[in-house]
Structure 1
Amino acid sequence: MFCFLALAQCCLAVFVLLALSDWWMLALLYSGWLWLDWDTPTSGGRRSRWVRSWVVWDYFRDYFPLTLIKTVDLDPRKNYIFGFHPHGVLVAGAFGNFCTESTGFSRLFPGLTSHLLMLPFWFRVPLFREYIMSGGLVSSSKSSLSHLVSRPEGGNVAVIAVGGAPESLDARPGSLTLQVQNRKGFIKLALRHGAQLVPVFSFGENELFDQIKNPSGSNLRTLQNQLQSILGFAVPLFHARGVFQYSLGLMPYRKSIHTVVGKPISVAQTSCPSSEDIESLHQVYLTCLKDLFEQNKHTYGFNDDQHLTFK
């Protein structure tokens, strides 16, 4: 939670203090490095096997606990786009499964390298960018995704939280509303590069936090939408439990998260996909996502009356 809420601000403060101190030369040298390294987040990043294997991630996994479930084998000679749902508040399932080795991604999917896409804004924060890239995070820009899924020899997995920041504003226990109906950019790039689409549903992701009521049209939701348009990221007003008590705090609830990786959707490469091609594949993707949820919902605590809602 510290990394999620405050590490970027702390890294920026350290850099500013360094620049204003007698050690300003270090800040200047790092600025030069930052300029030379500016495009790395859009060129595959700079992951560290050592960081991804830290013991702390095992504690992170066991806190919820967090589990990665494979339904079929994936061919390492192909590139994949994993559509991750739902975004939730913390995106804990995506981070734990695809930015660490705590749940055994490399063992379950040998020959594949996972990259979680994140808003480009965060890669502009000094020092913090080095930390997030070490886990396999890369920029969510179009050029970054294209770089990953155009690898000729295959083996890359680009993980996209399709609902993005707007979906986090609907993240609360029991919510099954996904912002995916008008999200078609990843579909277009999948067609352009022939990357296989894989729906991923993380059961329990929305159960980690409560959120202050903010229905569409309310003053709070309007303010949140305005802040998102200005800042580029959402500001959900969430709460859960504390460290030593269970009634109020910013620690997530200890709810099981089961991240299920579905079957790949075969995509034929189309250098200039038409709007009809994009719409057709998008509908196939939505159908496969809905089927993935329906096939697994009873196993992971959902009942017959609960269904996905796309908006």
Structure 2
Amino acid sequence: MQFLGIEFAPLSLPFERRLQTLSVLFYVFLFLQGLSLIGFSLFIYLLFTNYYWISLIYGLWYYLDNDTPYKGGRKFPWSRTWSLWKYFRDYFPIKLVKTADLDPNKNYIFGISPHGVMCFSSLINFATDATNFPDLFPGLEPHLITLNGQFFSPLMREFFMLCGSCACEEQSLKYILFNKGQCKQKGQVCALLVGGARESNEAYPGTYRLVLKRRKGFIRIALETGASLVPVLTFGENDAYKTVVVKDGSFIQKVQAFAKRYLNIGLPIITGRGIFNYNFGIMPYRVPMVTIVGKPIEVEKTENPTEDQINELQKKYIDDLVNLFETNKDKYLTNKNTNIEIL
């Protein structure tokens, strides 16, 4: 259906596709801090009503529970199996592929690339069971490592912790990998989006520009804890939106740099599709995403790693990630001439 040059979705679409769209719309709303805004507004509003005691009780709970995102999180397995996530998975669709068995008696850091605009594949692969993580990697317990800011607001923090997510801090990763407190068993996985906010600004369709050269913190933590490093690469993540190329030295690039430095967020200029149309909106395009989990890099525990040891392990990780890309690109990319670029 077209009207004034706008292509609208037909009214006769199967109900299941409508549910897929709604599930992704929920996450987009979540990612754009909609739930945070509701949480803060509700908290403040209730303070000025007869139900002020609800905000006071939650404020006390927030204070007492403030360290939980840094101490292994709080996982409710039932939340990982919601039908919501299956519809989310099928919207694109998203697939998780393993290339090697992982020993459940060891701990791992999954270094995930690329970040993409809204990390769709990382959420569905490592914060839910929709792509069969428990069957592919039996005995492993994944923790999606996400921005600290996700745990600052009412409602938002509770949602992310439902799925076992933890804060992106050194103490958080070490708590999980050293098997202290709640995490006494082996088989712990820290699923970390290595490129972070800066890499989201590089999420141009059909490209794989990965911010890795200065990312050494997770390498050092792997050495200090003895956790094996696993390169993880997603094909299709950067194709979810059309991203405007930002020129070096432009005003927009300066705004992006400011947001990255002071707010720790990326601000890519994107266009997507709408809820009821295919031309414009905030919804991602329906593009297949395939996440490849590579072979583990065994790491010898080193209490005080030297700079040379860190650089050597980082080089090994980057080489394995590039090899994972080159080995699989013919299978999952239409343009076989696509190259990977390490920034």
TM bucket (normalised to shorter chain) is over 0.9
Hey, what does 1:115 align to over in structure 2?
Answer: 143
1:4 equivalenced with 2:34 (yes/no): no
User: Any conservation in 2 of the 1:80–1:198 contact (CA below 8 Å)?
Assistant: yes
Inter-partner Cα distance in structure 2 for 1:122 and 1:303: 36
Aligned to 1:84: 112
Which of 121, 133, 144 is 2:161 aligned to? 133
CA contact (8 A) 1:78 1:156 kept: yes
1:173 aligned partner, one-letter code: P
Partner of 1:185: 217
- In the other structure, the counterpart of 1:265 is 297
Q: Which amino acid aligns with 1:102?
A: A
Contact 1:78–1:153 (CA under 8 A) maintained in structure 2: no
Measure, in 2, the Cα distance between the counterparts of 1:253 and 1:207: 8
Show the counterpart of 1:100.
128
* Kept in 1: contact 2:232–2:292 (CA 8 A): yes
Stretches (4+) displaced over 6 A: none
Aligned equivalent of 2:288: 256
Higher alpha-carbon Rg: 2
| Equivalent AA in structure 2 for residue 2 of structure 1 | F
Residue range with higher mean Cα deviation, 246-255 or 214-223: 214-223
Answer yes or no: is 1:143 the counterpart of 2:175.
Answer: no
Instruction: Write the distance in 1 (CA, Å) between the matches of 2:52 and 2:265.
Output: 31
For residues 173 and 300 of structure 1, the distance between their equivalents in structure 2, rounded to whole angstroms, comes to 14
CA distance in 2, matches of 1:215, 1:171: 14
- How far residue 22 of structure 1 moved from its aligned partner, in angstroms, is 1.6
| Cα distance in 1 between the residues matched to 2:312 and 2:159 | 39
Aligned equivalents of 2:160 and 2:47: distance in 1?
22
Measure how far apart 1:304 and its partner are.
Answer: 4.0
Residue aligning to 1:209: 241
SS at match of 1:298: helix
Distance in 2 separating the partners of 1:251 and 1:26 = 35
Q: How does 1:146-295 map to 2 (within 5 A)?
A: 146-151=174-179, 153-295=185-327
CA deviation after TM superposition for structure 1 residue 19, in Å: 2.0
Describe the SS at the equivalent of 1:260. Answer: strand
**Per-residue deviation, 1:302:** 4.7
User: 2:80 aligned with 1:62, yes or no?
Assistant: no
- Check whether the contact 2:204–2:245 (CA below 8 A) recurs between aligned residues: no
Supply the distance in 2 between the matched residues of 1:210 and 1:78 (Cα, whole angstroms): 39
Q: TM-score normalised to the size of structure 2?
A: 0.89
Opposite residue 215 of structure 1, the aligned amino acid is K
Give the letter for the 1:276 counterpart: D
Residue equivalent to 2:76: 48
2:53 equivalent to 1:25: yes
Partner of 1:297: 329
Normalised TM-score (structure 1): 0.97
**Distance in 1 between the 2:225 and 2:210 partners?**
26
Please give the alpha-carbon distance, in whole angstroms, between the structure 2 residues aligned to 1:291 and 1:213: 27
Instruction: State the secondary structure of the residue aligned to 1:90.
Output: coil
| Alpha-carbon distance in 1 for matches of 2:74, 2:90 | 27
Q: Deviations over 1:89-133 (max 9, x none)?
A: 010110000011111111111110001111112211112101111
- 1:28-39 equivalent positions in 2, closer than 5 A: 28-39=56-67
| Partner residue, 2:22 | none
Partners of 2:52 and 2:97 in 1: CA distance:
48
Aligned equivalents of 1:282 and 1:216: distance in 2? Answer: 28
User: Structure 1, residues 201-241: CA drift from partner, whole Å, max 9, x if none?
Assistant: 01000000112231332210111111222222122222210
Deviations 1:253-302 (A, max 9, x none): 00000000000001000010000000000000000000000000011015
How many residues end up aligned between the 2 structures? 311
Gaps of 5+ in 1: none
Which stretch shifts more, 97-106 or 207-216?
207-216
**Which stretches in structure 2 are left out of the alignment for 5+ residues?**
1-27
Instruction: Please give the alpha-carbon distance, in whole angstroms, between the structure 2 residues aligned to 1:210 and 1:9.
Output: 27
Distance 1:216 1:170 in 2: 12
